[in-house]
Structure 1
């Protein structure tokens, strides 16, 4: 890649990860354009350009992407099946690097697990991108696996800690390390990938803010609150069964059940540590688990004080 990446278009810029991504790209000095739908009321930071597009139209997307060096997609899993139009437009517009919505678990090693059926949109999109890059060497890609969204998961209960009731849901033994990343850290990683285009060209990388166990997170939460929490034990085999029953009825909320089985199950082996963690490649450092939990508890305390307590307070 002969010249540095300077201009970046972001899809899904108003979402949870999208906001963090736009912020970190701006902080890293990129010129950022966010693609939005007709009628969107989303607002963005000063200096961020917003372009209205028709996501079903290659022509509309190509026009919006012309002049962009890179495209980052942060759209939710449910919408990733529609990324092929984005890919075609990116190729037509001469975009040099695409980072598709791969964030979360590594989709390259799903095998025949049921969760793979739900993630086929991601799998097929990256396969399509890979094929396009072989046909057009100037079109390159980077896939990024981040594990669980830790800070978001604390707020929404998916990490298993409920501050309002001082209750922790522990799956299996609770001793399995798992890959987890905070949203701003993912944004920093995306920016770093684009700052290191040669080192990350046509590569699938994995990052993690940290690799905690459920019991470690609970122990820290108890220390920070100065209270003993109630523990609810759940088997991931039961989660798998519940997920299978849901999926048989076309209920794709089964994803959460399958995810808990895949991530928290004893022997899962999905922690990303040492040389497997691409943070060194990107010039980034890991984050502090206790600091992240403390920030969450402080935020809940403030929401309580302001009368804006959310779901997991």
Structure 2
């Protein structure tokens, strides 16, 4: 029996071609580099004007063709997907991107006869969340329903929260006052994975023809107490905990913040990040079972390692 790894990376097989949308973004760029490191061919699909971005230049230096394509041009988009073993989406945005553009990309992949599709789902397990609890994840769920109806094999990769956010963008580890901020229980397990590890796993999955509908990974599963210990060990300075209140209070804060600062056209307004934290602290979207061992060459970064580099 051939394992997923050997099937994906057999030296006798011709290098697989992966069509990657969103290759000039942080995650997409890392996925492209990880695919190249695994010996794959990569075709980067970018919108008109994006070929001039620095990330595109870096990929071009590695021999990656940068294909500028108008997603509204179905025939051109299908040609850009033609011959690929898998189409990977690392697109980021709101409805016009996550639902509309990804649907155009999906239709093009189907029209081109591409056998597999990996959507831009990279998140906590939103399939377990109630509708309306997170705007951005509701969009992914909506696209997922379309994807499940399409004649193509799909694999969503769920990775929890990007661990990198703990070093500043996510208001959880407060370095200035040496506290770990939380709501609800300090013992709720939370899933974290670095952007780099998510990209590496996605590259392996894109080259693996045996992937199931969902793959769930977490570089580290940590409670608030674990984050407190990791921050203390990484910095050599003792961190404490700061409980802001129950989950009901966070939910109220989200409602007030969304009313005062709606920012409907921003992908990540303040209230969106608060929604994500609320989801995580409820425990509902906890990733299980984990597929961390699916590709034995993967090495997962731990919170302490990440914080030590800050």
**TM class, shorter-length:** 0.7 to 0.9
TM-score by length of 1: 0.81
Give the aligned partner of residue 126 of structure 1.
144
SS of the aligned residue for 1:72 comes to strand
How many residues end up aligned between the 2 structures?
284
Give the aligned partner of residue 272 of structure 2.
255
Matched, 1:178 2:190: yes
Distance 1:165 1:15, change over 3 A: farther
Give the aligned partner of residue 291 of structure 2.
278
SS of the aligned residue for 2:238 comes to coil
Quick one: which of 65, 74, 98 aligns to 1:49?
Answer: 65
**8 A contact 2:193–2:301 mirrored in 1:** no
SS of the aligned residue for 1:189 comes to helix
**8 A contact 1:62–1:92 mirrored in 2:** yes
Q: For 1:66 and 1:227, how far apart are their aligned partners in 2?
A: 54
* Aligned-pair CA distance for 1:142: 0.6
Unmatched runs of 5 consecutive residues or more in structure 1: 134-138, 301-313
Distance 1:20 1:12, change over 3 A: same
Q: For 1:195 and 1:22, how far apart are their aligned partners in 2?
A: 12
* Aligned-pair CA distance for 1:129: 1.5
Of stretches 252-261 and 88-97 in structure 1, the one that deviates more from structure 2 is: 252-261
TM-score by length of 2: 0.82
Give the aligned partner of residue 82 of structure 2.
66
Distance 1:211 1:230, change over 3 A: closer
* Aligned-pair CA distance for 1:98: 0.6
1:248-303 CA distance string (max 9 Å, x none): 675453321221111024xx154435xx11123344556252xx4334433x3xxx
Q: For 1:101 and 1:22, how far apart are their aligned partners in 2?
A: 14
Give the aligned partner of residue 154 of structure 2.
141
Give the aligned partner of residue 303 of structure 1.
none
* Aligned-pair CA distance for 1:109: 1.9
After superposition, where does 1:65-214 map in structure 2 within 5 Å?
Answer: 65-78=81-94, 79-82=97-100, 83-115=102-134, 117-133=135-151, 139-151=152-164, 153-158=165-170, 160-198=172-210, 200-201=211-212, 203-214=213-224
Unmatched runs of 5 consecutive residues or more in structure 2: 1-6, 8-12
Pairwise CA RMSD: 2.6
**8 A contact 2:161–2:193 mirrored in 1:** yes
Matched, 1:294 2:305: yes
